[in-house]
């Protein structure tokens, strides 16, 4: 989304900049909350990512 914001800013379309920034922020918050909820419900996923297995 950042290339779009820079184009809008260069064209002095501040309404477009605000729209894209608000849309991006809302999308980031929703995706982050879903990610946190999944990790809280299924913590095994997070543990599986950081598990070190011995290569004996």
For 3-47, how does the pLDDT look when each residue is reduced to its tens digit (9 = 90+)? 888 888 888 888 888 898 899 899 999 999 999 999 999 988 888
Entry pTM: 0.68
DSSP string spanning 13-29? -HHHHHHHHHHHHHHHH
Say if CB 45 and CB 38 are below 8 A apart: yes
pLDDT at 56: 61
| Residue predicted with more confidence, 12 or 54 | 12
């Amino acid at each position: 989304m950042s290339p779009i914001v820079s184009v809008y800013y260069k064209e002095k379309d501040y309404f477009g900049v605000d729209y894209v920034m608000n849309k991006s922020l809302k999308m980031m918050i929703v995706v982050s909350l879903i990610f946190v909820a999944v990790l809280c419900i299924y913590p095994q996923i997070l543990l599986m990512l950081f598990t070190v297995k011995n290569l004996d």
